[in-house]
Structure 1
Amino acid sequence: MKNKHLDYNSIIGLFLILLILTIFTFLNKEKEYKVNKEFFNYKKDVLFRKEKNNFFLLENNVLRLRISNIGGIINEVLLKKYKAYDTSLSYHAKNLFLVKNSSLLYRMSFINKKGLNINTENLFFQPIFFKNKKKGTKILIMRAKSPLGKGFLDYIYEIGSKNQYDIGFSVKTTNFFPYKKLVSINLDQKILSLEKDRNWENSYTQAYYSNLNKDFASVKYLSEKKTEEKNISNINWIAYKQQFFACIFIPEKILKNVFIRSDNFSLGNFLKRIQFKTYLKNDENKEIDFSFRFYFGPLDFNLLRKYKNEFENIIPFGWGFLKWINKYFFLVIFQFLEKTNLNYGVIIILMTIVVKMILSPITYKQYKLSAIMKLIRPEIEKLNNEYRNNENSFQKQRKMMELYRKAGVSPMSGCISTLFQIPIFYSLFKFFPTIINLRGKSFLWVEDLTSYDSIIELPFFIPFYGNHVSLLTLLYSLALLFYTKLSNNDKKEISQNGKNSNSIPDINFILYLMPVIMLLFINSYASALSLYYFTSNIINICFLFLIKKFMLDENKILVKIQEKSIKNKK
């Protein structure tokens, strides 16, 4: 048996290599354990956050914010001067929360160089209060320690001490940890239902945004009816708007790229879910310091206009020319009459009277034209009988124009005056449901002038009509029917005197169908709209009597027509 000589040098070398590998592995695991231990404690805090959830109040005369220590977010926003609709009491009696139970979530995500993602919604914040005496504001700093170091992150909330609906919001870091250049910001809100009619309210709830394009800002919006998402650039602000209130997110600097999404809820306490996401670029390893503002408040035209950022354009006054009529005609009259401090139902009646007085010259011209056309109708019928052959249509038209010239009228003037009143008629459909000063205001049996009045609740649903009976809508339809019948009495006289009146029954059918259509169409609209139209038709009836009895003498008009006819023959 051969002696085996051991190579002690090799054995020692192998031992040293194993020792080094063991020490290296141990140190690496110790470092990993240290990081994981920090993260474990971080996750452990999150698991027990329900027991450790505390809230801190920040308020002024009009707002009360409740801020959570978990994520440092605004947990509730109470508007002190407004109430939400209470179904049990059938009027606005509940505290109005724009945000409740964290229905508004916002968070920032930081990714460090090793790919570890820190989400602020999982951080715990501690409050630091102080009052800024120079500006008269209250400041709440919510501070969170970095889970990977000795640094910290501050959420700084600043609220005015008086009647301010906007608050300042800043984000600052101090030695937080080494992170990459991009920081993501996510804003997610579920819009609470606050009004009587959920479906009606939902039709006014949507996301708006101000888009800067070549130094010109335009206000746009996402669809209120369907799910929609967009990628947008150069954003000034984003608004989550309801029928009468809004949450507006206003960054200090233009946001280059933003993703927005809107989803509808068919049931429950929420109307819509609106999501917003963007990224902020920051120099690597440089501390974060950026600011925003939140607006939590009413859609009050004068209040929003003071911000000089086109916030007032999120009030849905209508499109195109209708918007201008509402903003610079109806709103001006309404605000002027509002200074009387009368009941808002009375203000609407006075507003109707003022508008009808302004439009009275047009109404007078329309009736005068109708009276003249009634007097020359026999001559028109003679021309119709004389030129029955289609080949003579040009000559017939020339004779008709001569007849109109002799009578001193232009049939087109009636069309122009009618077309002028159509935009005014339809603009009111957008005006009354958007005026927050009418919200919750009662008149006689009406509980809320911005919603429908209901005297009977039906156990079934009628298509286009609804499941209730609106008394004001019913009164308006009856007044419209009576006015239609009264104004058509002259046409009945014409049909009896003229020989060719085959088209008149069809016209009468359409005219008498209008009250029925309006009854179905506006039964669920704002009761203020029905009150306005009811008052308007009562004024039309009275005006018709006054013109017929005291302002227009058909005999004198006939004499003038005959005199003009004699002069033209000479």
Structure 2
Amino acid sequence: MKDNRLDYSSIIGLFLILFILTIFTYFNVNNNQEKKETIYISKKIIPSKKKKNNFFSLENNVLKLKISCIGGMISEVFLKKYKAYNNSFSSHSRDLYLVKNSSLEYNISFSKKKKKGININTNTLIFKPFSITNLKKIRIIVMRAKNPYGEGFLDFIYTIKKNQYDVGFYVRTKNFHSFNKSVFLNLEQKVFSLEKDRDWENSYTQVYYSTGSSPKPKKVKYLSEKNIENKGIPDINWIAHKQQFFSFIFIPEEILRNVFIRSENFSSGYFLKKIQFYTKIKNSKKNKEFYFSFRFYFGPLDFNSLKEYQSGFENIIPFGWGFLKWINKYFFLIIFQFLEKTNLNYGVIIILMTIVVKFILYPITYKQYKLSAIMKLIRPEIEEINKKYSNGSKDALKKQRAMMELYHKVGINPMSGCISTLFQIPIFYSLFKFFPTIINLRGKSFLWVEDLTSYDSILEFPFFIPFYGNHVSLLTLLYSLALLVYTRISNSENKDISKKETNSIPNMNFILYLTPIIMLLFINSYASALSLYYFTSNIINIGFLFFIKKFILDEQKILMKIQDKKLKKHSHWRTMIKKIINKKITESKT
């Protein structure tokens, strides 16, 4: 049981963390391979430039929409309570538009039943406001276009309620009987970049959609955030074009059948992605007018607000996979929201959150330190067993039995250290997904940090360093230094090791002190809130070490308990031997 100033549970935990970080980095590296599968997206008919376009507004306390006369589409969506990142001022100070300059286009096409080649596409029609209604709780605008092939008309009806981010959209026809056989919906959005780090933001921008219907449970799935992807989906409840902190969600009243979706990345420019979907809409009423209703959600990815819709929208927030999602949703998020009620600076809230989590996990920390202290105290016994059974594989089983007897005598289980380390790994990794997705941290400053959901930078490089980036994050640097100090202090607890032992595993110290450098490379471009949390966590760990050693864990008492257990064990065997001998003597006399 030889080591080099490090117990086996720490070594196992270190390698597990490095393995997980390596896998995590692999899946976050941009992969530009394109899939061979293709789908059909109908081409849009661009309106003539000669047509004069007018716009009409529809707004509430949180949204302002502009509706175009050409095509009757929403041409602009302005979020009143949020700001986009402004590179000129290095802050979130620019007006935030989720839709602008035709970045969102949608149209409905109607085909003639008998005459082929005659169709109506709504983006070639001129819509005029037929009625505008402003009530206390709801505002309604009806945009009407005439049938270009005769009598009749087509209405686009938009409704918006007070303090809500969703918009009602209704389509109805009058005297369109001959066009109602084949009706197609085509939608395309070019997603704007709104945050500081375009590459980081792009990794969080992707298509989510919900499938399945009652009584079966609905499932939320997604397309690749890195690759060009085309997919045909048999049924869809809703489709979300999700960004890092905001989303456009298309919500039909009825399930859409046979939907074709395409997602394509932009490597540069003003847009992050182009997302398209295309589907055929069936009119349930034969030989009657067409009527279909949708809802559009233009708003923030706020967990509680999305959950109120009871449609699974909150599942598009990328809290991680499997049990990591549960840790973030039902552990970290609850603690964060509770501390948020204090109305303190969000940097202070993260520090308080770290303190709360560390005290919750204190029993595990104490158990690990106690195990390490006991392992150090029984080192002489371990060395005796190693010398006694030094004949390689022949004595391996006897050596293992002797070790287990020793552990049993002193009342410890070495595997408990590994279990404790394994328990903390999911908590360690879940934070990588937690801080970059909390919209309440977006744009919030702390000391020199401009935005807690992005990296803090004290120095910019004119070049890019692989894995590290083109900047120096001070919080990440402080975290790495704190981790180095903690590693040094915890490692110095095992100084009483002979030179022969140190030569047995010569690379353990190198691997141990390499960890802070690896972490410096891994999280330099991550959310500064993550670095703040880990920096605070390591400062608390250092405090715990001194506190446990000076006031809680008395090594002399532990050593006395170990000796008492040994004496009791020996006296127990002596008593048993005496009883056996006495029993044999009495039996021989009789």
Task: Compute the TM-score of the two structures, normalised by the length of structure 1.
Answer: 0.90
The aligned counterpart of 2:395 is 392
CA distance in 2, matches of 1:127, 1:232: 36
CA distance in 2, matches of 1:366, 1:340: 33
In structure 1, the gaps of 5 or more residues are 1-42
Residue 177 of structure 1: how far off its partner (Å)? 5.5
CA distance in 1, matches of 2:496, 2:163: 64
Residue 46 of structure 1: how far off its partner (Å)? 3.3
Q: Which amino acid aligns with 1:84?
A: A
The answer to whether the aligner puts 1:463 opposite 2:452 as a matched pair is no
1:70-469 alignment to 2 at 5 Å?
Answer: 70-112=70-112, 113-115=114-116, 116-131=118-133, 133=135, 136-160=137-161, 162-176=162-176, 178-212=178-212, 215-282=216-283, 283=285, 285-389=287-391, 390-469=393-472
Residue 565 of structure 1: how far off its partner (Å)? 0.7
Determine if contact 2:177/2:288 at 8 Å carries over to the other structure.
Answer: no
Over 3 Å counting, the alpha-carbon distance change for 1:45 and 1:448 in structure 2 is closer
Over 3 Å counting, the alpha-carbon distance change for 1:47 and 1:463 in structure 2 is closer
Determine if contact 1:78/1:99 at 8 Å carries over to the other structure.
Answer: yes
Over 3 Å counting, the alpha-carbon distance change for 1:458 and 1:540 in structure 2 is same
Over 3 Å counting, the alpha-carbon distance change for 1:131 and 1:563 in structure 2 is same
2:218 is paired with a residue of what secondary structure? Answer: strand
CA distance in 2, matches of 1:448, 1:185: 40
Over 3 Å counting, the alpha-carbon distance change for 1:436 and 1:541 in structure 2 is same
CA distance in 1, matches of 2:49, 2:359: 69
Q: Which amino acid aligns with 2:122?
A: T
The aligned counterpart of 2:36 is none
Indicate the larger mover: 542-551 or 499-508: 499-508
Determine if contact 1:449/1:527 at 8 Å carries over to the other structure.
Answer: yes
Q: Relative contact order (alpha carbons < 8 A, sep ≥ 6): 1 or 2 greater?
A: 2
Once the two structures are superposed, what CA deviation does each residue of 1:339-387 show, in whole Å capped at 9, x if it has no partner?
A: 0000000000000000000000110001000000010112112211211
CA distance in 2, matches of 1:278, 1:494: 72
1:105 is paired with a residue of what secondary structure? Answer: strand
Q: Which amino acid aligns with 1:366?
A: Q
Once the two structures are superposed, what CA deviation does each residue of 1:96-142 show, in whole Å capped at 9, x if it has no partner?
A: 00001110010011111212121111110001343264x72000111
CA distance in 2, matches of 1:62, 1:454: 32
CA distance in 2, matches of 1:157, 1:487: 64
Indicate the larger mover: 251-260 or 123-132: 123-132
Once the two structures are superposed, what CA deviation does each residue of 1:384-439 show, in whole Å capped at 9, x if it has no partner?
A: 12111211111110100011011111001111111000000000000000000000
Residue 164 of structure 1: how far off its partner (Å)? 0.2
Q: Which amino acid aligns with 1:427?
A: S
The answer to whether the aligner puts 1:480 opposite 2:480 as a matched pair is no
CA distance in 1, matches of 2:323, 2:360: 19
Over 3 Å counting, the alpha-carbon distance change for 1:457 and 1:393 in structure 2 is same
CA distance in 2, matches of 1:45, 1:544: 71
Indicate the larger mover: 521-530 or 225-234: 225-234
Determine if contact 1:451/1:524 at 8 Å carries over to the other structure.
Answer: yes
Determine if contact 1:185/1:278 at 8 Å carries over to the other structure.
Answer: yes
Residue 173 of structure 1: how far off its partner (Å)? 0.3
Q: Which amino acid aligns with 1:262?
A: S
Determine if contact 2:319/2:437 at 8 Å carries over to the other structure.
Answer: yes
Determine if contact 1:195/1:201 at 8 Å carries over to the other structure.
Answer: yes
CA distance in 1, matches of 2:78, 2:202: 21
CA distance in 2, matches of 1:468, 1:330: 29
CA distance in 2, matches of 1:434, 1:45: 39
The answer to whether the aligner puts 1:559 opposite 2:563 as a matched pair is no
Determine if contact 1:84/1:96 at 8 Å carries over to the other structure.
Answer: yes
CA distance in 1, matches of 2:166, 2:60: 11
2:557 is paired with a residue of what secondary structure? Answer: helix
Over 3 Å counting, the alpha-carbon distance change for 1:55 and 1:488 in structure 2 is same
In structure 2, the gaps of 5 or more residues are 1-44, 572-590
Q: Which amino acid aligns with 1:231?
A: G
CA distance in 2, matches of 1:459, 1:215: 54
CA distance in 2, matches of 1:540, 1:147: 74
CA distance in 2, matches of 1:340, 1:543: 26
Over 3 Å counting, the alpha-carbon distance change for 1:254 and 1:307 in structure 2 is same
Determine if contact 2:46/2:124 at 8 Å carries over to the other structure.
Answer: no
Once the two structures are superposed, what CA deviation does each residue of 1:450-509 show, in whole Å capped at 9, x if it has no partner?
A: 00000000111111000000000000000000000000002332346xx53445442222
CA distance in 2, matches of 1:123, 1:165: 27
2:249 is paired with a residue of what secondary structure? Answer: strand
The aligned counterpart of 1:61 is 61
Q: Which amino acid aligns with 1:176?
A: F
Over 3 Å counting, the alpha-carbon distance change for 1:176 and 1:46 in structure 2 is farther
Q: Which has the larger radius of gyration?
A: 1
CA distance in 2, matches of 1:371, 1:204: 44
1:294 is paired with a residue of what secondary structure? Answer: strand
1:538 is paired with a residue of what secondary structure? Answer: helix
CA distance in 1, matches of 2:534, 2:505: 26
CA distance in 2, matches of 1:180, 1:328: 49
Over 3 Å counting, the alpha-carbon distance change for 1:503 and 1:96 in structure 2 is farther
CA distance in 2, matches of 1:495, 1:142: 86
CA distance in 1, matches of 2:137, 2:487: 61
Determine if contact 1:186/1:275 at 8 Å carries over to the other structure.
Answer: yes
Residue 314 of structure 1: how far off its partner (Å)? 0.1
Indicate the larger mover: 377-386 or 194-203: 377-386
The aligned counterpart of 1:4 is none
Indicate the larger mover: 82-91 or 108-117: 108-117
Indicate the larger mover: 484-493 or 468-477: 484-493
Regions of 4+ moved over 6 Å: none
Determine if contact 2:63/2:78 at 8 Å carries over to the other structure.
Answer: yes
Once the two structures are superposed, what CA deviation does each residue of 1:1-31 show, in whole Å capped at 9, x if it has no partner?
A: xxxxxxxxxxxxxxxxxxxxxxxxxxxxxxx
1:388 is paired with a residue of what secondary structure? Answer: coil
Over 3 Å counting, the alpha-carbon distance change for 1:44 and 1:68 in structure 2 is closer
The aligned counterpart of 1:33 is none
Q: Which amino acid aligns with 1:148?
A: Y
> How many pairs align?
522
The aligned counterpart of 1:526 is 527
Indicate the larger mover: 484-493 or 278-287: 278-287
Determine if contact 1:151/1:177 at 8 Å carries over to the other structure.
Answer: no
Determine if contact 1:364/1:547 at 8 Å carries over to the other structure.
Answer: yes
Determine if contact 2:47/2:123 at 8 Å carries over to the other structure.
Answer: no
Task: Compute the TM-score of the two structures, normalised by the length of structure 2.
Answer: 0.87
CA distance in 2, matches of 1:371, 1:266: 54
Residue 554 of structure 1: how far off its partner (Å)? 0.5
